[in-house]
Amino acid sequence: MGYAFADDTDLIESKASRPTIELCVWQLQEVIDTWEGSLKATCGAIVPEKTFWYLVDFQWESGTWKYCSIADCPAELYVKDILGDRKLIKRYEVWEAQETLGVLLRQLK
């Protein structure tokens, strides 16, 4: 599952089946690009500094499931700023809490 907080908007990409990480990230990038285009059409823009994302995946280790770290599942997402320059979106580990609309989001490690 990919979860992005784009400047006061939550964007989520998930599948009931198990797609590849690459497909999930590609689809989340498509969602971000579409949202970004909608904002641009109304003279708005996403603020990269106020945008972040998580990639939630699991791996089997020593008989138990554990969350994948960024090192386990490397991936990047991008967004255009107000000038149209493409910027890397900050990605957090699933166990790092971040505030969105007054609520702290966090998965347990």
pTM for this entry: 0.77
Query: What secondary structure, in 3-state letters, does 30-43 show?
Result: HHHHHHHHHHHHCC
* 109 CA to centre of own chain: 18
* 73-100 confidence digits (pLDDT tens): 999 999 998 888 999 999 999 888 887 6
Segment 15-45, tens digit of pLDDT: 667 678 888 899 889 988 988 888 888 887 8
Farthest CA pair distance, the chain: 51
